[in-house]
A and B are shown apart, each in its own frame.
Chain A
Amino acid sequence: MDQQTFLTQAMIFLAAAVIMVPIAKRLGLGSVLGYLLAGIIIGPAVLGLIHNDSGDIMHAAEFGVVMMLFLIGLELEPALLWRLRKSIIGLGGLQVLLSAVIIAGISFGLGLPWQQAVALGLILSLSSTAIVLQTLQEKGLMQQPVGRHSFSVLLFQDIAVIPMLALFPLLQNLPLGDATGDEHSTLVDGLPAWLQTLVVLGSVALIIGAGRFVVRPLLRLVAKTRQREVFTATALLLVIGIAVLMMQVGLSPALGTFLAGVVLANSEYRHELESDLEPFKGLLLGLFFIAVGASINFTLVAAQPLIIGGLVLGVMAAKAVVLYLLGRSAKLSLNDRFLFAFGLSQVGEFAFVLLTFTNQHGILPQELTSLMVAVVALSMALTPLALLVHEHLLAKRLQPANASARQQDDAIDEHNQVIIAGFGHFGNTVGRFLRAHKIGLTILDNDADRVELLRRMGFKVYYGDASRHELLAAAGAESAKLIIICLEPSEKRLELIETIKKHFPNLRMLVRASNRYDAYDLMNAGMLHIYRETMDTSLRVGVDAMRFLGFRAYTAQRAASLFFKKDEANLRKLSAIRDEEEYILSAREKIEELEKLLQTDMVQNMQDIERGWDEESLIDAAHRASDATVQP
């Protein structure tokens, strides 16, 4: 592909997505359906802008799934994965087994040879990780029982692909075509079986070990360069590297990156990785959905509408029944059971891979695989529609009963009440003070060395740019009571304030200010709790100076706190004036303001000596009146 064709193709894909996704979203159809429609429209069936042999695009797009699994892995701490083990093996295992048995049984009944029936059953039992997870995330259901169970099933399926690939050659029942040359060879091809197993296990161990001992220091090193794009490049390199390694040893790249994600889930760079890779994942997945849409062979569908329609509905119905029953045994609510059943009833993207594979290995005949490719693509396209039907017809009837149970589920994640943004000299004093009183803290900081140290000390600390919405959300800004903003650059503080005002209006902000003028800006931004960093220290110097000059300690201390109070009041007054006129203070005006301040200090503070401790008036009175009984 020369550059111009490449760019033209890219333009067509992007334009289709940009036009169709917002329309689909506006119509309440979800982004997946939008991408699929875009694919159908630019595909050979409608406009014919891209060609049917979009295999390259499909391959690139499949990488979106790999990246998605890495990101999912990042969100799954090993402990959580361990807790899900029953549901992964139990639910996932049963789902694959039962669906495969039923579909294979029906195929066999329809007259297919048993080898073909078994292959079809296994292939069609898989669901689409890409569509289901994208949809669940969009609906915010990932943290709920139905989301977790769906995820468990999908994870099992992704793992199950590996033994399927190993098993399929045994099912050969047709003469081998000459198409096998297409398959790429792996490093382990020539090795004996036991060595292959060893290599596979070794690679998994390598990922886990490297994730823990190599990748984290590497990320820290890269983070220290403070070059955002290098960090992004490292993240991409990580995912692509693992995918390549996995393919070399004949494992699923999705599984490998998922594993790497899990290993890094506990790392301090988790959120940075997440937000760096998120756009790539989104685009690649979008591309993937478009490719699916474009690959639906409508000529074939038009030629055999009844057979294909019947197959699509039959497969989806069979899978949905199995899922519904499993959902019931997993004690999902009625509504969630339907969601679970409809959501996972399509056939997944791995089916494309497996269908090609079975064709090449002489298991399924060409006509059957083309037919099935259309069935798979259609079932994927139907999923968002099935979920829409569920949402609009069923959910409304079933929802009220379990709405309250849902809300409780949301509150599982516990978060600290205080977030400190910026843990430099200023922030760490505040943090140490609060921690000394056992107040739970979540720290956001962008100094790699410090983050490392703090984590070792047992702080809950995230690396990254605190003014970013996702990082704040991850740190629990939704449920925290306070955020203490101690970031060094004042522009960063203002940026963070804007983000919080927009997304977390209930979070109370305590803000560090560098000086008076900075404090004015913060006041204009609506801040109520502003702390000028030099104010208290300067006054403490003043107090000590007074003491060295012979003032009593308590007098000096009271003078300072009085001065502080007046100055705060003055600050507010002057800020109000400035606000009205909207001007930026020039150097000259700063001097004038200082002069004004100095004058008011003299007048106010001199007058405010505590008269209660001043005996002068009493002594006067005693001299004037002979009646001394009126004095204490």
Chain B
Amino acid sequence: MPRLLLLFAHPALEKSRIHKRLIRELKSIPQVTFHDLYEAYPDFNIDIATEQQLLLSHDIIAFQHPFYWYSAPAIIKQWMDLVLEHGWAYGSEGRMLEGKKALNIISSGGPRHVYAPEGRNRFTYRQFLAPFEQSVRLCKMDYLPPFVVPGTHRMEQQDLETFAALYRQALILLTAGNAPTDPGAELLNDQLTSSGILTH
């Protein structure tokens, strides 16, 4: 069964509500390796060899983070800059990640409908995530649609529970080898139903 590396970035997890709740689901999913980047590298001094080794031993790479400034917290960028080396991850000689899958798992303060051409944010999630998609592609991996927890600023506890269940389902399906068949879909959320089967 595929193993999933969850590269987690939240600079102040103790203040988080959404991500603290989501990662509680991880305990019961053995195929997921939870890697808390801010906890591992409080000085941003990322250990490149260790990170590359981790990548090699997993099949799916997930970046989980709040959607700060339509992007990721700084350590994700630092990680990409340092770990995805030329000649290792990309370039004509760099094929170490070839064939793996990657995705973003994000939370956004604004609700989903503002992430649209006619909405307040003017662009869709996937448009904002284009740098991730292309970086993944450059490393010869497949980019999967993102899993999004939207509207967190006004989220009721009950809805958070629903999203936590959905998150759990997504991870179970991914690690069961059931990657979504439509890589072009806007969100991974849309391909999950309450019965836990991927829609097409």
A617 touches B87 (CB 8 A): yes
Bound-complex Cα distance A612 to B84 (A): 7
Residues 81 to 138 of chain B near chain A (Cβ within 8 Å): 81-87, 90-92, 134-135, 138
> Which parts of A608-624 form the interface with B (CB within 8 Å)?
610-613, 617-618, 621
List residues of A (423-454) whose CB comes within 8 Å of B's CBs.
none
Q: Does B48 contact A (CB under 8 A)?
A: yes
Q: How far apart sit A337 and B83, CA to CA, in the bound complex (Å)? A: 70
A-side interface size class: 10 to 19
Name the distance in Å between B77's Cβ and chain A's nearest Cβ: 11
On chain A, the residues within 8 Å of B90 by CB distance are 630-632
A-contact 0/1 string along B72-84, CB 8 Å cutoff = 0000000001111
B91 touches A610 (CB 8 A): no
Nearest CB on B from A630, distance (A): 6
Choose one: A558, A561, A630; the contact of B91 (CB below 8 Å).
A630
Complex Cα gap A526–B92 (Å): 49
Cβ–Cβ < 8 Å partners of B193 in chain A: none
> A613 and B82 in contact (CB under 8 A), knowing A561-B43, A632-B138?
yes
Shortest Cβ distance from residue B79 to the other chain A in the assembled complex, whole angstroms: 9
Complex alpha-carbon distance, A558 and B91, angstroms: 26
CB distance from A123 to the nearest CB of B (A): 66
Are B45's CB and A630's CB within 8 A?
A: no
- Count contacts on B: residues with CB < 8 A to the other chain: 17
Interfacial chain B residues near A565, Cβ < 8 Å: 45, 47
- Report yes or no: B92 in contact with A611, Cβ–Cβ below 8 A: no
Contact B85 A630 (CB under 8 A): no
Instruction: Report yes or no: B45 in contact with A612, Cβ–Cβ below 8 A.
Output: no
B136 to chain A, nearest CB (A): 11
How far is it, in angstroms, between the C-alpha of A618 and the C-alpha of B92 when the chains are bound? 10
Contact partner of B82 among A610, A625, A630, CB < 8 A?
A610
What is the CB-to-nearest-CB distance from A433 to chain B, in angstroms, rounded to a whole number?
Answer: 15
A562 beta carbon closer than 8 Å to chain B? yes
Residues of A within 8 A of B134 (CB): 632
**A288 to B138 alpha-carbon distance, docked (Å):** 89
Say whether B82 contacts A562, CB under 8 Å.
Answer: no
B135's nearest neighbour on chain A, judged by CB, is A632
Within B17-68, the residues touching A (CB, 8 Å) are: 43, 45, 47-48
Looking across the interface, which residue of chain A has its beta carbon closest to that of B84?
A612
A612-B81, A630-B92 known; A621-B86 Cβ under 8 A: yes
A379 to B90, CA, bound (A): 92
Q: Assess the B43–A621 pair: CB atoms within 8 A.
A: no
Residues of A contacting B45 in the complex (Cβ-Cβ under 8 angstroms): 558, 561-562, 565
Q: In the complex, how many angstroms separate the beta carbon of B92 from the nearest chain A beta carbon?
A: 6
Known contacts being A612-B81, A613-B81, is A621 close to B48, with CB within 8 Å? no
Is the beta-carbon distance between A612 and B138 smaller than 8 angstroms? no
Chain B residues, Cβ within 8 Å of A611: 48, 85-87
Within 8 A of B (CB), among A577-632: 610-613, 617-618, 621, 625, 630-632
With both chains docked as a complex, state the minimum distance between the C-beta of A616 and any C-beta of chain B, in angstroms: 9
Smallest Cβ-Cβ distance to A614: which chain B residue: B86
Give chain B nearest CB distance to A568 CB in angstroms: 13
Q: Is the CB of A617 within 8 A of B138?
A: no
A610 and B45 CA atoms in complex are apart in Å by: 11
Query: In whole angstroms, how far apart are the Cα atoms of A220 and B45 in the complex?
Result: 48
In the complex, how many angstroms separate the beta carbon of B37 from the nearest chain A beta carbon? 15
Cα–Cα, bound, A565→B43 (Å): 12
Expressed in whole angstroms, the minimum distance between the Cβ of B69 and any Cβ of chain A is: 20
> Would you give the shortest CB distance from A89 to chain B, in whole angstroms?
50
The smallest beta-carbon distance between A415 and chain B, in angstroms, is 24
Q: How far is the CB of B159 from chain A (nearest CB, A)?
A: 34
Q: Which residues of B contact A613 (CB under 8 A)?
A: 81-82
Q: Kindly identify which residue among A561, A562, A621 contacts B92, using a CB–CB cutoff of 8 Å.
A: A621
Residues of A within 8 A of B92 (CB): 621, 625, 630
A397-420 interface (Cβ within 8 A of B): none
Once the chains are docked, how many angstroms separate the CA of A630 from the CA of B138? 7
Per the 8 Å Cβ criterion, residues 530-574 of A in contact with B are 558, 561-562, 565
Contacts of A612 in B (CB 8 A): 48, 81-86
Say whether B86 contacts A617, CB under 8 Å.
yes
Cα of A316 to Cα of B92 in the assembled complex, Å: 98
In the complex, which of the residues A558, A610, A631, A632 has the most CB atoms of chain B within 10 Å of its own CB atom? A632
List, in ascending order, chain A residues with CB within 8 A of B48's CB.
610-612
**Chain B contacts for A610, CB-based, 8 A:** 48, 82
Measured CA separation A610–B83 after assembly (Å): 9
Closest A residue, CB atoms, query B90: A630
Nearest opposing residue in chain A for B91, CB measure:
A621
B41, closest chain A residue (CB): A561
Residue on A nearest B82 in the bound complex, by CB: A612
Residue of B nearest to A610 (CB): B82
What are the interface flags for A82-114 relative to B under an 8 Å C-beta threshold, 1 for contact and 0 otherwise?
A: 000000000000000000000000000000000
Chain B hits for A618, CB < 8 A: 86, 91
Q: In the bound complex, what is the Cα–Cα distance between A632 and B132 (angstroms)?
A: 11
A residues within 8 A CB of B82? 610, 612-613
Which residues from B are CB-within-8-Å of A561? Answer: 43, 45
Bound together, the chains give a CA A86 to CA B90 distance in angstroms of: 81
Q: Across the interface, which residues of A come within 8 angstroms of B85, CB to CB?
A: 611-612
**Chain A residues in 8 Å Cβ range of B135:** 632
A610-B86 Cα distance, complex, nearest whole Å: 11
Closest to B47 in A: A565
Point out the residues of chain A lying under 8 angstroms from B91, CB to CB.
617-618, 621, 630-631
Q: Which residues of chain A are near B47, meaning CB under 8 Å?
A: 565
A285→B92 CA distance, assembly (Å) = 88
Bound-state Cα–Cα, A565 to B47, Å: 10
A residues in contact with B86, CB < 8 Å: 611-612, 617-618, 621
Most buried by A among B84, B91, B138: B91
1/0 contact string of A245-261 vs chain B (CB within 8 Å): 00000000000000000
Contact residues, B134-173 vs A (CB, 8 A): 134-135, 138
Complex contacts, A632 vs chain B, CB 8 Å: 90, 134-135, 138
Alpha-carbon distance A144/B2, docked complex (angstroms): 57
A149 to B188, CA, bound (A): 68
Question: Which A residues are in CB contact (< 8 Å) with B83?
Answer: 612
Q: How far is the CB of B134 from chain A (nearest CB, A)?
A: 8
Q: Which residue of A lies closest to B134 (CB)?
A: A632
Of chain B, the residue at the smallest CB distance from A612 is: B82
Complex CA distance for A617 and B86, rounded to whole angstroms: 7
How far is A625 from B43 in the complex, measured between Cα atoms in Å? Answer: 37
Cβ of B133 to closest chain A Cβ, rounded Å: 12
When chains A and B are docked, how far (Å) is the Cα of A579 from the Cα of B134? 52
Minimum CB distance partner of A616 in chain B: B86
> How distant is the Cα of A474 from the Cα of B91 in the complex, in angstroms?
64
Report the Cα distance A558→B44, complex, angstroms: 9
6 A/B residue pairs, CB under 8 Å, sorted by A: A610-B48, A610-B82, A611-B48, A612-B85, A612-B86, A618-B91
Interface residues of B (CB under 8 A from A): 43, 45, 47-48, 81-87, 90-92, 134-135, 138
Chain A contact residues, CB within 8 Å of chain B = 558, 561-562, 565, 610-613, 617-618, 621, 625, 630-632
Having A612-B83, A613-B81, A617-B87, one finds 17 other A-B pairs with CB under 8 Å, namely A565-B45, A611-B48, A611-B85, A611-B87, A612-B48, A612-B81, A612-B84, A612-B86, A617-B86, A617-B91, A621-B86, A621-B91, A630-B91, A632-B90, A632-B134, A632-B135, A632-B138
Q: What 10 pairs between A and B have smallest CB-CB spacing?
A: A612-B82, A561-B45, A617-B86, A612-B81, A611-B85, A618-B86, A612-B85, A617-B87, A561-B43, A621-B91
